[in-house]
Chain A
């Protein structure tokens, strides 16, 4: 065949013409409801001169704040360095766990002894703990600390105290878009979460260790996943006026909702960790077993028992970890089937659906982060986990790279189906 033949074939060639009506509508809704609109519009209206002035002013403010913080840190450092040995010993005695013996000490680089207020010890895994500091200390101070026991990691961010409270559970996390919560649809007297038979199976799988997590955080794709069929099967109807309730104090509302059903609601464990309002809701197995058409959460005056129940549950720390996620569609994709699982060694990984960055783990698992690559598909928001080095601490030893989003979904489910089956039947 010569080039002209090929050109003739190509010229006459009619390539496939595909149509995506559903995907198109879905994307259209996402685009038109995107919060990209309105962003930076005021900036665009500024003249170059005005932008220059604003930039100069910002730099000035930044320098001013930096100067202030620098001085503040120095003064904190002086205070800390002047603390006595007795104070330090006091906190150690009162906070140590059985795991640590009394020989554990924290020293400064020049044998100064620090009195850092400790919020709690957090069990990371097995023999590894981290210290959650009560207050924020500058890196300058923290860098002076030598932890002689290598089994202890130093946390840079005290927000991670939340990790300890969730590390033993598989969860379904779902997110309700703020815009939906704000909409006029939320005017009725109760909330119902309907779970169809298909959904029931999914949730049933997690009834032993399962938790539902409510998350009212923001997402750029709210409308999109709320309109997905799988989300629609978990409808929220007859809602309260959530403007008043949920936005200001969602925990109170959830407590009310939980009281009438056999559902427990946690304290706000995730709030600090994610910077978002996230709650854990646990569904009792007995409900799931009898659940047919739907599960209804209704308001009741009596608010009781959830605190202790959940706390006790969470105290039973296992080595199985929640691994992600930020919205329901993700979770259903990855933990949805009766076969899917979180591998027992997977740590908690929370992915920001917009940036693909990991939240919550970067402070502690810096070593891990060097060795894995996490990203999320921007629109479909699936999980991608890349294992780049097999030699690191086997916290995520079962993960491997998956190509595109559909392959992730299917490979992920297949990959861990065996794990889940084994874990759940033990």
Chain B
């Protein structure tokens, strides 16, 4: 009995923590509408997740750097329109990032090249620190064979499937979180995941599985 009470208290305490965290973030977002430093706090918290989400979608470090910039500029520009409705600020940022990515894919249906497919030809002498950073991370991505394989297949399926698969398996988001980000019902998300995985499976084939299990 004593153990049960402890567990219950622990659960309640965790919920309270989440509520507190949400309240804190809500207040921060409100302040960020007028105060750059508050926006800076949000930026510090979400820059890495958003950047990595975009990298996982595009597999292109230079492009990701740019789309991440666009995402945060867009967020800054529109933060006054954000109203807290029990949907986290992060979901809103992911949504903007998704729009940036999808917009980019729409504009570059034939011309998009990921870092995996073609490494940028940097001119060493002219590299800025920013360039060097992009290049360094590009090399890191290139070393990740499994990611490369998955991404090659991912880019061949529709963006709506890419989006949910990446959010679910790369960003480790729950169905309800994906639902908040995409604005789609949870049932729809499950359906998209199911169809997306089926298509992905066909594209990847057996050789991939063999390679992965051998690693």
Contact = CB atoms under 8 A, between A and B. Distances in A.
A68 interface: no
A59 interface: no
B128 A228 contact: yes
A81 B130 CA distance: 61
B30 to A, nearest CB: 12
A3 B197 contact: yes
Contacts of A150: none
B20 interface: no
Contacts of A21: 133
B61 interface: yes
B14 interface: no
Interface in A3-40: 3, 5-7, 9-11, 13, 15-24, 26-28, 30-34, 36-37, 40
Which of the listed residues B62, B77, B113, B140 has the most CB atoms from chain A within 10 Å of its own CB?
B62
A369 interface: no
A27 B201 contact: no
Contacts of A17: 48, 52
Contacts of A404: 60, 62-63, 66, 113
B40 A1 contact: no
Contacts of B18: none
A1 B205 contact: yes
Given A31-B39, A34-B73, A406-B122, A377 B130 contact: no
B72 A18 contact: no
Given A27-B68, A28-B43, A31-B73, A13 B120 contact: no
A18 B162 CA distance: 20
A2 interface: yes
B116 to A, nearest CB: 11
A377 B104 CA distance: 12
A82 interface: no
A229 interface: yes
Given A23-B133, A404-B62, A3 B169 contact: no
Contact of A377 (B60, B66, B108): B66
Given A11-B169, A378-B73, A18 B208 contact: no
A60 interface: no
A401 B109 CA distance: 14
B105 interface: no
B197 A27 contact: no
Given A16-B141, A22-B133, A380-B66, A36 B150 contact: no
A337 B169 contact: no
A407 B120 contact: yes
Give the interface residue-count category, chain A: 35 or more
A24 B134 CA distance: 11
A13 B169 CA distance: 7
Contacts of B39: 31-32
Contact of A1 (B70, B125, B208): B208
Contacts of A32: 36-37, 39-40
A326 interface: no
B80 A24 contact: no
A41 B76 CA distance: 13
A401 B55 contact: no
Nearest to B104: A404
Interface string A398-409: 000101111101
B198 interface: yes
A403 B111 contact: yes
A27 B80 contact: no
Contacts of A24: 47-48, 51
A34 B76 CA distance: 9
B123 A413 contact: yes
B206 interface: yes
A336 interface: yes
A45 to B, nearest CB: 10
B137 A9 contact: no
Contacts of A378: 66, 69-70, 73
B52 A18 contact: yes
A31 B72 contact: yes
Interface string A368-382: 000000000111100
B133 A20 contact: yes
Interface string B74-95: 0011001000000000000000
Nearest to B48: A19
Interface of B: 34, 36-37, 39-40, 43-44, 47-48, 51-52, 55-56, 60-66, 68-70, 72-73, 76-77, 80, 108, 111-113, 120-123, 125-126, 128-131, 133-134, 137, 140-141, 144, 146-147, 150, 165, 168-170, 197-198, 200-201, 204-206, 208-209, 212
Interface of A: 1-3, 5-7, 9-11, 13, 15-24, 26-28, 30-34, 36-37, 40-41, 44, 198, 228-230, 336-337, 377-380, 401, 403-407, 409-410, 413-414
19 contacts: A3-B198, A6-B197, A6-B200, A15-B147, A16-B52, A16-B56, A19-B48, A23-B130, A24-B51, A27-B43, A31-B43, A31-B73, A32-B37, A36-B73, A40-B80, A44-B80, A198-B125, A379-B73, A407-B120
| The 3 nearest A-B residue pairs measured at CB | A379-B69, A1-B209, A10-B169
